[in-house]
Structure 1
Amino acid sequence: MAEIVDAGGGHGKGDGKVRAKKMSTRVDMTPMVDLGFLLITFFMLATTMSKPTSMTLNVPDKQEDKKEQQTEPLKASKVLTIFMGRNNDIWYLDGVAADDDNAEAALKKTTYGTGIRDVVFQSKTRINSQNPKDEAGNDPFVVVLKPTPVSTYRNMVDILDEMAITKSKRYALVDELTESEKKLLGDRVVPQPE
């Protein structure tokens, strides 16, 4: 609280002058400090802390029997194969196998974000319109994601985000390149010597 304290003076005898009383003010800061701590405590308790976010990753169901289920092999015409290269480049084959004769001409380059998103949407539309759904009612469109030795962890997270954005339900993350894919990609996936 503010207090007014008499500083004295002004009533001296014999000098004949009338002087005004000098009052000094002193502000007590204790209540303001208390209020500050109360506000800090209130806002710390009233706010919500940011929760860590995680990406959902779907994995195949556990099989009770250890025998492998026989499925028909995927046709290359139903698959979009995405290779993650260096410098955030993406190389892709749309409906063509790496060991096909025209794979070199079909190999194209794009970037993350809208570039790969447009490629996925176009491929999904083309493949789903040309092929019927399977017995389980799944669309025939499949994406094969292949990180390379020159790609980064961020590239993999970004491409998995794109799968979620494009609502691609059938995709596989394959960490090994076949010999025909290595030959096709050449020096695009070879680590640079340091």
Structure 2
Amino acid sequence: MAEVEVKDSGKGGKKGQQKKMKIHVDFTPMVDMNMLLITFFMFCTTLSKPQTMEISMPTNDKVTEEEQNKVKESEAITILLGDHDRVFYYLGQPKYEDYTSLVESSYGADGLRALLLERNKTVVNKVKDLKERKKRKEIDEVVFDSLVTEAKKTKGSPVVMIKAKLADENGQNGASYRNLIDALDEMIICDIGRYAIVDITEGDLFLMENYEKKGALSDQIDTSLKKN
């Protein structure tokens, strides 16, 4: 509360002289009110949930290229991250003798995203429907998350393997960390439920090199590559 103290100049003061006033404002109620408001907002405000990205890292066990290619061919998509921000992909098992089986693409809506959305359209439509139901408050957050997880396991949904070309001894001519993050972003955007980061193989490097040379290396394919 505000208090006003009037200070009289005494009897000896001149006629018409203004009286001095000393104003004191008590801010204690204001502090109490601020604390109540802070407490109110702390209990009533919904805190934002941390955004996390699930990453499946390569296993420590030695896995041969033949074992990696046992994924059902109709569902498998292999993405190769090359140098200079280039990205390639092939469907099913690699065809080393046909360099055109490797397709150069790009990051974003006109590249990998268009491919993944088309191959995963069943899951994408299911997740879209679940989001609409959640928006209409037909399902809560917990049920929504569990249903999305189940939707991503739909039979026939793609299995994506991401392989990055490593840099040379000078730290050049390889995929960057940003390329890997861009590829993982596409997995989240396209609702890909099954994907993993896998070590790149000699066969994958051969595919990219043969692609650059327009199939000039096809006649030099090792018999071990043909078996894979």
Common topology (TM > 0.5): yes
Query: C-alpha root-mean-square deviation of aligned residues, in Å?
Result: 3.9
The match for 2:160 is: 143
- Rate the CA distance shift 1:40–1:162 in 2: closer, same or farther, 3 A: same
Whether contact under 8 Å (2:3, 2:25) holds in the other structure is: yes
Comparing 37-46 and 107-116, the one that deviates more: 37-46
- Rate the CA distance shift 1:19–1:164 in 2: closer, same or farther, 3 A: closer
User: Which of the numbers 79, 82, 90 marks the counterpart of 1:85?
Assistant: 82
Q: Aligned partners of 2:164, 2:93: CA distance in 1, in Å?
A: 18
1:109 and 2:101 equivalent?
Answer: no
Report which of the two has the higher share of helix: 2
- Rate the CA distance shift 1:73–1:47 in 2: closer, same or farther, 3 A: closer
Q: Aligned partners of 1:75, 1:44: CA distance in 2, in Å?
A: 51
Q: Determine helix, strand or coil for the equivalent of 2:106.
A: strand
Question: Deviation per CA, 1:48-84, whole angstroms, max 9, x where unpaired?
Answer: 443333335689xxxxxxxxxx9x9557676432112
Report deviation, 1:114: 4.7
The match for 1:55 is: 53
TM-score (norm 2): 0.51
1:181 and 2:204 equivalent?
Answer: yes
Q: Aligned partners of 1:124, 1:50: CA distance in 2, in Å?
A: 29
- Rate the CA distance shift 1:40–1:168 in 2: closer, same or farther, 3 A: closer
Whether contact under 8 Å (1:79, 1:95) holds in the other structure is: yes
Q: Aligned partners of 1:42, 1:77: CA distance in 2, in Å?
A: 56
Q: Aligned partners of 1:167, 1:20: CA distance in 2, in Å?
A: 79
The match for 2:136 is: none
Letter in 1 for 2:37: L
Paired residue total: 160
Whether contact under 8 Å (2:55, 2:196) holds in the other structure is: no
- Rate the CA distance shift 1:89–1:20 in 2: closer, same or farther, 3 A: same
Letter in 2 for 1:99: Y
Q: Aligned partners of 2:161, 2:98: CA distance in 1, in Å?
A: 20
Whether contact under 8 Å (1:86, 1:151) holds in the other structure is: yes
**Gaps spanning 5+ residues in structure 2: where?**
58-66, 122-153, 167-173, 210-228
Q: Determine helix, strand or coil for the equivalent of 1:40.
A: helix
Report deviation, 1:106: 3.9
Q: Aligned partners of 2:196, 2:52: CA distance in 1, in Å?
A: 19
Report deviation, 1:102: 3.0
Q: Aligned partners of 2:35, 2:72: CA distance in 1, in Å?
A: 68
Report deviation, 1:90: 1.8
Report deviation, 1:8: 1.0
- Rate the CA distance shift 1:8–1:40 in 2: closer, same or farther, 3 A: same
Whether contact under 8 Å (1:94, 1:123) holds in the other structure is: no
Q: Which has the larger radius of gyration?
A: 1
Q: Determine helix, strand or coil for the equivalent of 2:79.
A: strand
- Rate the CA distance shift 1:96–1:124 in 2: closer, same or farther, 3 A: farther
User: Which of the numbers 25, 40, 43 marks the counterpart of 2:23?
Assistant: 25
Q: Determine helix, strand or coil for the equivalent of 2:41.
A: helix
TM-score (norm 1): 0.58
Q: Determine helix, strand or coil for the equivalent of 1:111.
A: coil
